Amino acid sequence: MADERRCPMCGRPNPPDAEVCQHCGARLTFVGAEPTAGDEAAFSTSWFEEPEPEGRERPPSTDDTAWLRGFFATSEGEAADEEDWEPTGAEGEEAPAPESAPLDARLHAWVGPEAEAAADEGAAQPEAAAEGPAEWVPPWLGTGTGDLEAPQAEPATDEGEGQPEAAAGGPAEWVPPWLGTGTGDLEAPQAEPAADEGAAQPEAAAEGPAEWVPPWLGSGDLEAPQAEAAADEGAAQPEAAAESPAEWVPPWLGTGTGDLEAPQAEPAADEGEGHPEAAAEGPAEWVPPWLGAGTGDLEAPQAEAAADEGEAAREQPETGWLPPWLDQETANLAENIEVPAEFEAQPEASATPPAPEPQAAPEEERPAPRQTGELALSVEELEALLGESEGEPAAPPEDLLLEEPSPATEEEAAPDLEQAQVPEWLRQAAPGAAGPPPSASVVDEILSRGEGDEEAPEALVGIPDVLPAVPEVARPQVRSRAPLTLRLTRRQEQRAQWLQELLQDEKRPRDLGAAWRTLRFGWLRALVALALMVVAALVVYTSWGARTTPAPHPAWQAAFQAIEALPPQAPVLVVADASWATVPELRPAVEAVFTHLGRKGVQGVEISTVPWGVGLFPGPEGATWHPVGFVPGGVTLMAQLQRALPYALAGGRPWPPEALTAWRGVQGLPQTALVVVITDNPETARLWVEQAGPALSGSSGLVFVSSSQVEPWLLPYLATPGVRGAVLGVEGALAYRQALGLPTESTQRLWQRYQALWVLGGVLMLVATAGAYGLQRVARRRQK
């Protein structure tokens, strides 16, 4: 996704505004990657760059410590990753993402061509040298030159000697790698050697040291670039070179180079005019071809080197296109490369071609060849640089802060400022500039010192190839796998989601004050209070001296008559489907009904269709009673009892028991004398009415012993033909007991306690309401 920010360490996506990876803790924002305005003014390489023109945004600079990674990589015996420490591609182009590519790939991109070229040269492959110009774009600039068009060096082959003349331009184009971080899009001027006879002197190489530190970089007095080597003796002097001091400020450097057109070098193939005219014109429009990436639509110059007689080709070093600091490495690499036998036979093959000797350059000015695998920094220097990079951006020395170069100052200072203006620390940072570079162990030492300090490592934590995200050796990983694997259906997930939403809705804060404000003095609140007070007053008023039992539902009388009409030893099925919570309420009625059944001497079988109904109501005395217990099946059991009662109750075992003689001919509910259902569940009552009612419409019937809460549900079914009656609640029990002549004292006491609780509740309700209201008013007055 475009708005994601991938972690350079673990590669997982993160929110675009995240600074630290949410998965591994690596820093996503490099130190100094997004400098502030003040930082930009104080740091980076702006002191040797021209200010950006208005309206053109400057690409964000990358990590200012990125150059360290190049050292770090080289110290590991690998080729330096130039892409990483190349700060930006060029103007107008986004900075490359050095951390996006794997380290090996980046190393290969940087050192691979050189090594391969060295190997090829060692094997005397002319094609490799010929392809050198095609790869003339410094490979380490690869990421920054995404759309860069490599200069098309078309070495003309003359008389079968196709040595690439452009290879001679190597020394001249040697751009200090350490400068890459600072200059970014700056490069040494390109010297295009001509291929004419006698003109093959690598003048550009001789001028290389002078270009090693870009002259214009010295003090702002920019020196003209060294033009391409003249092709013809005397005649091929680059005229533009003389004019260069005034024009040399690269126009591509000053303003936007987007619409800059590169010169089209049309080399002449004539012997006497073998110099490329473009070389003479070069300084005026001298846009390095490799800068094409930054210029976008910049056209790289078509350097068609003219070849003449092939002599120049012989004089030019074959590996001249390689930076001299790579010679040592290429030599080492070439030694380790197996050369096919057919190539070894060629005598001119040289595994270690001589590096171009910068003849005119003094020894101290000549840049030392870069020695890969080592870092030209001491421990103290590296610490100092790290400190600069970690903390506030390192401000360059004041004497190095250059003003915008002007042609006049360039002319004045160009000759002798090129060395003096190179910062000392920058020169020391150059690879191979001073002393043996520290190895990776040195870096590790420095970084290990910083582990004790809480501030030091944080600046580098998370930077690829520098430090891990955490100081531990093993990166802690968050366990993403759930401890349990739940397999949920879609419907279950929906239900879980509903439940979760319900719970979240419960926790959601609500404006409780709004509801109470509307109710505070509203008529609704007064109405509710009045109703409650009326109820409480009625309870209190009617409880004094009344002490009468309420009138039960007349259905108890039908139940009583149905049981009274039973013959002796009649088979009666009792179903106890009550719950424990309603046992105290049901027990008086159940006891009355069981007593009545006992008096009639029935043969009862008690079952329960719910597991918790077993053993709730023991059988009556005087009756033959057989508890079966829980019988599963629910509704189907009720249907089964209609036709296969013995099988449903016994499950194939012998049935009935010896004592239940009246049950021997019973095959279903219609043969039973009565079915008594004890339940507090209206659903159970309904099911019994629906399932067993039609089968009991004859001589048998249903009698319910139920709770008062079932009464409203059960009333519509009392008119069903199969239902004979119902004893409902405590009042029904009292009436039944009175009809049986049983003592009702215990039931009366229960009823009186019930009334007392009602009175107590009413009084409490009145007192609590009045007290709370009064206290509230008092508190409100005090607040006012």
Partner 1 sequence: MRLLRISLALGVGLLALLMYFFPLGPLAALQWVFYDWAAVLVAAAWVLGLHYMAQHHWRGLIRRRGDWPARAVLILTLVLTFVVTLLQGPGGTWTRWLLEYGLIPAAVSLFAVAGVVLTYRGLWLLQHRRDPLAWSFAVGVVLFLAADAVRFFTGRPQVAQAVSTLERWLVVPALRGLLLGLALGLITTAWRLLWAADRPYEDE
Which positions lie near partner 1, rule CB under 8 A?
Answer: 487, 489-491, 510, 512, 515-516, 519, 528, 531-532, 534-535, 538-539, 542-543, 546, 548-551, 579-584, 611, 614-616, 618, 627, 629, 632-633, 636-637, 639-640, 643-644, 647-648, 651, 682, 686, 711-713, 715-716, 754-755, 758, 762
Of the pair 473, 512, the CB lying nearest partner 1 is at 512
- Report d(CA 357, CA 360) in Å as an integer: 9
Q: What sign does the CA torsion over 445, 450, 451, 457 have? A: negative
Q: Strand 5-6 and strand 13-14: pairing?
A: antiparallel
CB of 493 to partner 1, least distance (A): 10
C-alpha count within 13 angstroms, C-beta hemisphere, residue 68? 29
Write the CA distances from 95 to 12, 100, 258, 496, 541, integer angstroms. Answer: 21, 12, 16, 48, 91
Of the pair 319, 640, the CB lying nearest partner 1 is at 640
φ, ψ for residue 753, nearest 5 deg? -65, -40
- Report d(CA 641, CA 154) in Å as an integer: 104
Write the CA distances from 293 to 253, 414, 692, 700, integer angstroms. Answer: 13, 28, 92, 102
Strand, coil or helix: what is 93?
coil
Of the pair 496, 515, the CB lying nearest partner 1 is at 515
Structure tokens at 79: 């080729």
* Location of structure tokens 């009892």: 641
CB of 512 to partner 1, least distance (A): 7
Of the pair 65, 624, the CB lying nearest partner 1 is at 624
Of the pair 428, 549, the CB lying nearest partner 1 is at 549
Of the pair 452, 712, the CB lying nearest partner 1 is at 712
Of the pair 192, 711, the CB lying nearest partner 1 is at 711
CB of 528 to partner 1, least distance (A): 7
Of the pair 568, 712, the CB lying nearest partner 1 is at 712
Q: What sign does the CA torsion over 265, 266, 267, 271 have? A: negative
Of the pair 487, 781, the CB lying nearest partner 1 is at 487
Q: Provide the 10 A C-beta neighbour count for residue 471.
A: 12
Of the pair 120, 680, the CB lying nearest partner 1 is at 680
CB of 546 to partner 1, least distance (A): 5
CB of 676 to partner 1, least distance (A): 19
Nearest to 169 by CA among 322, 301, 271: 322
| DSSP letters spanning 615-672 | TSSPPPTTSEEEEEEE---THHHHHHHHH-HHHHHHTTS--S-TT-GGGTT--SGGGS
CB of 687 to partner 1, least distance (A): 11
- HEC readout, 298-310: CCCCCCCCCCCCC
Burial of residue 17 (CB within 10 Å: 0-12, 13-18, 19+) is exposed
Burial 653-671 (b: 16+ CB within 10 A, else e): eebbeeebebbeebebbbb
Of the pair 88, 609, the CB lying nearest partner 1 is at 609
Of the pair 242, 529, the CB lying nearest partner 1 is at 529
Q: Judge contact between 165 and 313, C-beta under 8 A.
A: yes
Of the pair 408, 767, the CB lying nearest partner 1 is at 767
CB of 624 to partner 1, least distance (A): 16
Burial of residue 776 (CB within 10 Å: 0-12, 13-18, 19+) is exposed
CB of 708 to partner 1, least distance (A): 9
Of the pair 584, 771, the CB lying nearest partner 1 is at 584
Q: Judge contact between 195 and 315, C-beta under 8 A.
A: no
CB of 657 to partner 1, least distance (A): 15
CB of 478 to partner 1, least distance (A): 23
* Alpha-helix residue ranges (DSSP H) falling in 469-575: 490-507, 512-520, 523-543, 555-564
CB of 615 to partner 1, least distance (A): 4
Of the pair 408, 644, the CB lying nearest partner 1 is at 644
- Report d(CA 322, CA 136) in Å as an integer: 9
- Report d(CA 7, CA 390) in Å as an integer: 20
CB of 768 to partner 1, least distance (A): 13
Q: Judge contact between 91 and 185, C-beta under 8 A.
A: yes
C-alpha count within 13 angstroms, C-beta hemisphere, residue 545? 1
Q: What sign does the CA torsion over 707, 713, 719, 722 have? A: negative
CB of 550 to partner 1, least distance (A): 5
Burial 544-559 (b: 16+ CB within 10 A, else e): eeeeebeebbebbbbb
* Cis check: omega of the bond before 656, within 30 degrees of 0: yes
φ, ψ for residue 605, nearest 5 deg? -125, 120
CB of 543 to partner 1, least distance (A): 5
Of the pair 567, 632, the CB lying nearest partner 1 is at 632
Q: Judge contact between 685 and 714, C-beta under 8 A.
A: yes
Strand, coil or helix: what is 733?
helix
CB of 762 to partner 1, least distance (A): 8
Of the pair 205, 589, the CB lying nearest partner 1 is at 589
Structure tokens at 313: 């080709």
Of the pair 379, 528, the CB lying nearest partner 1 is at 528
CB of 13 to partner 1, least distance (A): 31
Nearest to 564 by CA among 742, 725, 693: 725
Nearest to 438 by CA among 388, 371, 387: 371
CB of 614 to partner 1, least distance (A): 5
CB of 513 to partner 1, least distance (A): 11
